[in-house]
Amino acid sequence: QYFDKAAALTNIPVDMLNYYKKTDCVIKFHLPLVRDDGTVECIPAFRAQHKTHKLPTKGGTRLSEHIHTEEVEALSLLMTFKNAVLELPYGGAKGGLKINPKKYSKREIESLMRRFTIELAKRNFIGAAIDVPGPDLGTGEREMSWMKDEYTKFAGHLDINAQGCVTGKAISQGGISGRTESTGLGVFYGCREILEDYEFCTQAGIPAGLRGKNIIIQGYGAVGYYAAKYMCAYGAKLVGVAEWDGSIYEENGIDPDELQAFKEQRKGVKGFPKASEYHEDESVIYKECDIFIPAAFEQTVNRANAPKFNCKVIAEAANGPTTLAAEEILIKKGVKFLPDILLNAGGVTVSYLQWLQNLDHIRPGRMTRRWEETSKYKLLEAIQISTGLRVDVTKNQQAAKLLEGPSAKDLVFTGLEESMAVAVQNTKETASKLNISLRMAGYYNALMTIHQHVDTAGLR
């Protein structure tokens, strides 16, 4: 539906729009799993490649009992558009297995992920130049490391870039510093950039800037936690969190790190001692706040519950958390949206940097860090000679820190910040020029980018 609305704003021929909407290829197969009790279960598995106009395709692999063919096709389309908005050289893809990971043991999940990788490889659906899965709902660096290991065993002798077959894996397996934080950090960068816009904030009925804003988050996994961590460090205040086991609220603010430590120990947020359990009106997500951040499932905000929300801004950290019907209801209430096509792109952006690291076979900064540090010391020495002033860096830790060369994580974070800032600026310019929402501007820019590429390359 968002595609159709954005398409109507373009001058792209209808037949080409129909092509851009269709999924190039989607596969479904069943994986036999021997459970810990000896029984055999057949697990449905999916992978969709929405568009292969650019290769490889890129998108997450999720473990969810709600996954189905239509969902992976829709999410792969969103990935194509997200990649285009961030100017990444990928087509879009998405896949996963139809299970609830909480009901399976570590051995069972490992067996499934390894078998899934082999089945993808046999169908030529995985590889650094073909299709590069990453983490998603229910998966993380553990699962990606298993996939990388299995693919390397299967095809490593034929593919020198085999470790680039997936992203989001552990650093010891070719991962990159900062990938775990990247989606949440991207949410922070996007919110910070957009909320500096006076006109946007005036329309939302809030003062400009992220500082001082009350936020409520639905879903406190890696995305929700890191979004809260960086936003609170910048001056925002986390007042509510909704998780699978309940909701908590504290008007004076919740410390993101303390809550994360509690959640890791208790596997939920219920009982967190520095906040109250919230029982009114079903969930804390309907409590009045400046910014609501859905960071878990699709269609969290829908036609049925849209009238209950009392936020000023919805910052979409999850994939597709708002239905079109819900958006139309909330826009009439004056709610502004920071769309997923833009805000949720931090993960795939850092995955791109990780993929480049795997192709280069060298971590970012290895060839330049010492050179930059030496150059800074020489510059400091020249300044001291010309001014007669001395700075003893052995006694001044702040000065010593400034003289250090950038670490791999420094380069990753600044690369992500630049990518998000440019994407936000491009989206805002289109929104202003065409007098449309940020979401429509993101889809419009993506469509025009894809069409320009296909039109130039040709279809034959």
Known binding site for substrate: residues? 58, 82, 351
Annotated binding site: 58, 82, 183, 351
How far the first Cα of the chain sits from its last, in Å, is 29
Q: Write the CA distances from 426 to 7, 28, 145, 456, integer angstroms.
A: 18, 37, 35, 22
Annotated binding site for NAD(+): 183
Q: Among residues 5, 21, 54, 94, which one is catalytic?
A: 94
Q: Which residue has the tokens 């006076």?
A: 198
3-class state of residue 8 by DSSP: coil
Which residues are paired to 293 by β-bridges? Answer: 217
Q: Write the CA distances from 217 to 240, 332, 348, 372, integer angstroms.
A: 6, 23, 21, 40
Residues 6+ apart with CB under 8 A from 388: none
Burial group, residue 118, by CB count within 10 angstroms (0-12, 13-18, 19+): middle
Nearest C-alpha neighbor of 92 from the set 169, 139, 22, 146 = 22
Q: Is 94 a catalytic residue?
A: yes
Q: Write the CA distances from 395 to 141, 321, 392, 398, 399, integer angstroms.
A: 39, 51, 6, 9, 9
Q: Which are the catalytic amino acids?
A: 94
